[in-house]
């Protein structure tokens, strides 16, 4: 099972590159197994052109390496915070994709201005509070993940599968690694659309709530009819 998880996670990491979401090595995807006691993630600082499924690193939920010769991504503690809190989450992605990162650096949520956004995210994409100096100096990556968990306290992680870390960059997640990557692609697209829309019209209204609900529910709701059964 872990070998299959490694293969799937390896492909998901390469998909980040294919979709243009990675600058240098700044990006990673992780996956958790069905027993929720092992996480696969890319090795730290390894170029995507050098990666193979065999180089993927396996850690437990405390971050201890249980399989692999390389160090896991330095963002691993942030991923683990999400897995420990949300049983619905099976894959996590972190990128520094430019348009979404612009919102993170501006410390602004991404408003839901249209139906493309509503198809993927049930409302504005939230931004976390800034980390304190103590949080940065003591356990930066873990506290980054905890800030995301804290921001999502009143939300469903599958209805809002993304968050912007203030001054940093976005995280997305989903039922598995491939799903997390899809949400990262969608996030970058709606961030670009939002910035362009606000440039054209600074007072652009947010999408009407009933349209937001319709678009989200027709794709993700209990009676969804988008796509094939």
Query: Is 0.75 surpassed by the pTM of this model?
Result: yes
Chain-centre distance of CA 34, in angstroms?
19
Predicted confidence (pLDDT) per residue in 149-208, tens digit:
999 999 999 999 999 999 999 999 999 999 999 999 999 999 999 999 999 999 999 999
Stretch (H or E) spanning 137: helix 133-151
Residue with tokens 């800034």: 130
Whole-angstrom CA distances from 221 to 13, 152, 224 are: 28, 20, 5
Q: Kindly give the residue spans of alpha helices, DSSP state H, lying in 19-114.
A: 76-85, 98-106
Predicted confidence (pLDDT) per residue in 23-50, tens digit:
888 899 999 999 999 999 999 998 898 8
Confidence check: pLDDT of 229 > 80:
no
Q: Check residue 148 and give its pLDDT.
A: 98
Q: In what order do the strands lie in the sheet with 91-95?
A: 65-67, 57-59, 39-41, 27-32, 91-95, 170-174, 162-164
User: How confident is the model over 57-76, as a mean pLDDT?
Assistant: 95
Higher per-residue pLDDT: 162 or 224: 162
Which of 205, 206, 227 lies closest to 218 in space, CA to CA? 227
Q: Check residue 121 and give its pLDDT.
A: 97
Confidence check: pLDDT of 228 > 90:
no
Taking all residues of the chain, what is their mean pLDDT, rounded to a whole number?
96
Residues in a beta bridge with 162: 172
User: How confident is the model over 63-90, as a mean pLDDT?
Assistant: 96
Confidence check: pLDDT of 227 > 90:
no
Confidence check: pLDDT of 225 > 90:
no
For the chain, percent of residues with pLDDT exceeding 90: 90
pLDDT grade for 223, boundaries at 50, 70 and 90: confident
Which residues are the active-site residues? 119, 226
């Amino acid at each position: 099972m872990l070998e299959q998880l490694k293969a799937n996670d390896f492909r998901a990491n390469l998909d980040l590159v294919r979709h243009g979401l990675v600058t240098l090595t700044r990006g990673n995807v992780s996956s958790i197994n069905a027993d929720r006691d092992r996480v696969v993630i890319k090795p730290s600082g390894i170029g995507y052109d050098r990666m193979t499924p065999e180089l993927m690193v396996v850690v437990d939920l405390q971050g201890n390496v249980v399989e692999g010769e390389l160090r896991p991504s330095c963002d691993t503690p942030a991923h683990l915070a999400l897995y420990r809190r949300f049983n619905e989450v099976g894959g996590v992605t972190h990128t520094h994709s430019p348009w979404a990162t612009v919102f993170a650096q501006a410390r602004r949520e991404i408003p839901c201005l249209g139906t493309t956004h509503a198809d993927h995210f049930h409302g504005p994409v939230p931004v976390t509070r800034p980390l304190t100096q103590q949080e940065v100096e003591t356990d930066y990556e873990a506290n980054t993940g905890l800030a995301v968990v804290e921001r999502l306290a009143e939300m469903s992680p599958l209805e809002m599968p993304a968050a912007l870390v203030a001054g940093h960059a976005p995280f997305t997640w989903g039922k598995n690694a491939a799903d997390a990557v899809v949400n990262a692609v969608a996030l970058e697209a709606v961030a670009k659309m939002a910035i362009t829309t606000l440039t054209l019209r600074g007072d652009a209204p947010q999408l009407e709530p009933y349209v937001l609900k319709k678009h989200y529910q027709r794709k993700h709701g209990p009676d969804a009819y988008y796509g094939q059964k």
